[in-house]
Amino acid sequence: MKNILLTLILTIVLLISGANEGFASSATYKVKKGDTLYKISQMHNTTVAKLKSWNNLKSDLIFPNQKLSIGSNAKKSKEAADKPASKAVSRSTSTNAVKEFTVSATAYTAYCNGCSGITKTGINLRKNSDLKVIAVDPNVIKLGTKVHVEGYGYAIAGDTGGAIKGNKIDVFIPTKSEAYKWGRKNVKITIVE
């Protein structure tokens, strides 16, 4: 009980003083690099489900600098609902090419031995198997980047992998049989705006 009361008092003081960088006066949180909905929910004593509901999120995909409403009084504006959808590029048809190069592409699933199904950026691939996500070397392609992969489609660079170094990617495919069919191939990748 003391911890809850202390957290509540500290939150109120921080909100009034504006000292907490993560909060704005309108009960919002600005997503930082490495944040996941789970981490944010733990910081604010809530659940991932509530965060998704308050912000009209259809998946666990969030991006640095995205503003999330915190609390039951969160506004469910059309703009807030549309913003994450425009970032979830699995269905995007954007064609503003920024850079194009060839990579070696393999495939992975959310159900491999030792896999949790949660990507480096916090996407739950077991619950969102319809998303198009690729694992990348962040030194080559930044996490959160929108891409088009030849033979795969529009996707988000949302994961990393131990063997993904340099010009290599792993495309997420929901089933093992389809992932095996993908095999290893050289494909053209386009970074888009």
**Spatial contact of 30 and 67, defined as CB atoms under 8 Å apart:** yes
Structure tokens at 124: 């739950």
Q: What is the mean pLDDT of each run of 10 residues along the chain (193 residues)?
A: 47 44 58 83 84 82 84 46 38 61 94 88 91 94 93 93 94 92 94 81
CATH of domain 20-87: 3.10.350.10
Please write the tens of the pLDDT for every residue from 87-134: 343 444 445 667 899 999 999 999 888 889 999 999 999 999 889 999
CATH 2.40.40.10 domain locations along the chain: 91-192
CATH 3.10.350.10 domain locations along the chain: 20-87
**Spatial contact of 176 and 137, defined as CB atoms under 8 Å apart:** no
Nearest C-alpha neighbor of 152 from the set 111, 85, 192, 105: 105
Q: Strand, coil or helix: what is 191?
A: strand
First to last CA, the chain: 48
What's the fold here for domain 91-192?
A: Barwin-like endoglucanases (2.40.40)
